[in-house]
Amino acid sequence: MSNTRAACVIGWPAKQSRSPKLHGYWIKRHGIDGDYRIEERSPEEFPAFVTNLAGNGYVGANITMPHKDAALALSEPDARARSVGAANTLWLDNGRLRSTNTDVEGFIGALDAAAPGWHERTESAVVLGAGGASRAVVYGFIERGVKTVHVVNRTFEKAVALRERFGPSVQPAHWSDLPRLLDGAKLLANATSLGMTGQGDLAIDLGAVADDCVVADAIYVPLKTPLLAAAEKRGLKTSNGLDMLLHQAVRGFELWFNVRPQVTRELYNLLATDITRT
């Protein structure tokens, strides 16, 4: 019997996933007898597949659209996955199917790399969007001690729902509140799909933000969104969606292959080339 440990990404569709390239790089780098594959499974197929992960040959998995809610319900989530309301990483722990949400550390890890110590000088943040990505960002900010997180969303009720989920640190806001909120802002994160190739534009004036404001964007196609281009022009520190993707992958790899890998410039460039080419 083979000793190869294998993990996979499960999604519908999943062909476009960059995770095999990323985990494949670390598997090779660390000389691990391992594999990482794509498993496209429909919502109907997902429960049977994931609850028999070992039988399907896997020690763990990444979960992507549209299965993150189902993965949470079908596994034993940690506090982080439960609070965010979605699981993106599964692993087998003595036969138990456990889950976490590594989008939180993806976002926070990317910020730590771009602007070390950011949280020590940041009392409040502005987050655009109130969907799944936003929940991970807001959770991460609160966990790091950011006292007030202004959540700006087109559908105001969804921003209110984040306050109900995470408590009074969350201040729901309307898009029209942005000029006031950005005046002197030290931390701005885009967790909407605006700025993504093929989606609408995110037109934001960064003129009034603090000179040491940090700007993060969860989007990675394109790598440099118009928001990040404007932030760079203004001389601000930035992190992009690829930084997040790489940092969110670290914990899963560690759980499955028992090695904590590094996010390196070489790895970034490998994935960036792939994204730019397609």
Three-state SS for 102? coil
Rule CB under 6 A: is residue 131 a binding residue for ligand ATR?
yes
Rule CB under 6 A: is residue 200 a binding residue for ligand ATR?
yes
The structure tokens listed for 208 are: 């009034």
Backbone φ/ψ region at 141: left (φ over 0), alpha (ψ -120 to 50), beta: alpha
Shortest distance (Å) from residue 93 CB to ligand ATR: 27
DSSP assignment string, 29-66 = HTT-SEEEEEEE--TTTHHHHHTTTTTTT-SEEEE-TT
Which one of residues 104, 178, 187, 194 is an interface residue with ligand ATR (CB under 6 A)?
Answer: 194
Q: State the catalytic residues.
A: 68
Residue 275 in contact with residue 223, Cβ under 8 Å?
yes
> How far apart, in whole angstroms, are the C-alpha atoms of residue 213 and residue 112?
14
Which one of residues 63, 130, 231, 250 is an interface residue with ligand ATR (CB under 6 A)?
Answer: 130
Rule CB under 6 A: is residue 158 a binding residue for ligand ATR?
yes
> How far apart, in whole angstroms, are the C-alpha atoms of residue 8 and residue 248?
15
Rule CB under 6 A: is residue 261 a binding residue for ligand ATR?
no
Residue closer to ligand ATR, measured from CB, 65 or 79: 65
Rule CB under 6 A: is residue 134 a binding residue for ligand ATR?
yes
Residue closer to ligand ATR, measured from CB, 173 or 267: 173
Residues in the chain: 278
Q: Is the dihedral of CA 125, 129, 131, 132 positive or negative?
A: negative
Shortest distance (Å) from residue 66 CB to ligand ATR: 10
Residues in contact with ligand ATR, counted by CB under 6 A, come to a total of: 15
Which one of residues 21, 28, 147, 154 is an interface residue with ligand ATR (CB under 6 A)?
Answer: 154
- DSSP-derived letter for residue 66 is T
Largest CA distance in the chain: 63
Which one of residues 109, 132, 172, 241 is an interface residue with ligand ATR (CB under 6 A)?
Answer: 132
Three-state SS for 43? coil
Rule CB under 6 A: is residue 249 a binding residue for ligand ATR?
no
Rule CB under 6 A: is residue 193 a binding residue for ligand ATR?
yes
Rule CB under 6 A: is residue 22 a binding residue for ligand ATR?
no
Rule CB under 6 A: is residue 62 a binding residue for ligand ATR?
no
Residue closer to ligand ATR, measured from CB, 62 or 261: 62
The structure tokens listed for 106 are: 């993806």
Rule CB under 6 A: is residue 17 a binding residue for ligand ATR?
no
Rule CB under 6 A: is residue 227 a binding residue for ligand ATR?
no
Residue 24 in contact with residue 36, Cβ under 8 Å?
yes
User: Which residues make up the interface to ligand ATR (CB under 6 A)?
Assistant: 129-134, 153-155, 158, 191-194, 200
